[in-house]
Amino acid sequence: MLKKKNSGELKAEMRAFNETRRKTQDRLIEKWNRVDVGAGLDNLYKINPHRARCTAMAIQNQENHLKQLNETVISTSFAMKPENLLKVVRIGTANSNRGDIFTEYPLQTTDDALFYIYMTYEQALRGAAAGDYMYEKALPYVAGEQFYIDTTGTGATQYTIVCGNIPIVANKVIVLLDGALIGMDDGSGNIARVGASTVLTTTQTTWNCVTTSSGVVKLEFTAAVPVTSTIRVLYDWNSEDSTLAGQYGTIGISLVKKRFNARPHPLGYAYSTMTELTLGTTGIGNAEELLVGAVGDEHAKAKDYKAIARARTVALMNSTVDFDTAFAVAGEVSAKSHAQMITKTIGNISAAIYDDIKRGMINKAVAGSKALEYVRLHDGWTEDTRQPRTGVYKAGKLNDIEFFGCPADASLVNNNEILLTYKNPEEGLDLSLVFGTLTEIAASLKYPTFYTVGNVAAVEDTLTINTKFVRLLTLSNL
Distance from C-alpha of 145 to C-alpha of 179, rounded to nearest angstrom: 20
Which H/E stretch holds residue 301?
helix 287-315
Question: CA–CA distance from 144 to each of 149, 167, 393 (Å)?
Answer: 16, 15, 50
Q: Which of 51-65, 267-281, 295-309, 428-442 has the weakest average pLDDT?
A: 267-281
pLDDT digits (tens, 9 = 90+) for 441-469: 555 555 565 566 666 667 788 888 888 99
Beta strands in 2-72, from DSSP E residues, in sequence order: none
Arithmetic mean of pLDDT over the chain? 79
Beta strands in 399-450, from DSSP E residues, in sequence order: 401-405, 417-421, 433-447
Handedness of CA 56, 57, 59, 63 (dihedral sign): positive
Higher pLDDT, 434 or 268: 434
How far apart are the two ends of the chain, measured CA to CA in Å? Answer: 64
Cβ neighbours of 129 (radius 10 Å): 12
Do residues 296 and 83 touch, judged by C-beta distance below 8 A? no
Q: Spell out the alpha helix ranges (H) of 219-282.
A: 273-282
pLDDT digits (tens, 9 = 90+) for 20-56: 777 777 777 777 777 666 667 777 777 777 777 777 7
**Within a 13 Å sphere around the CA of 86, how many CA atoms are in the beta-carbon half?**
21
pLDDT digits (tens, 9 = 90+) for 162-176: 998 888 899 999 999
Cβ neighbours of 465 (radius 10 Å): 15
Cβ neighbours of 429 (radius 10 Å): 13
pTM of the full structure: 0.64
Task: Please list the residues that pair with 152 across neighbouring strands.
Answer: 230
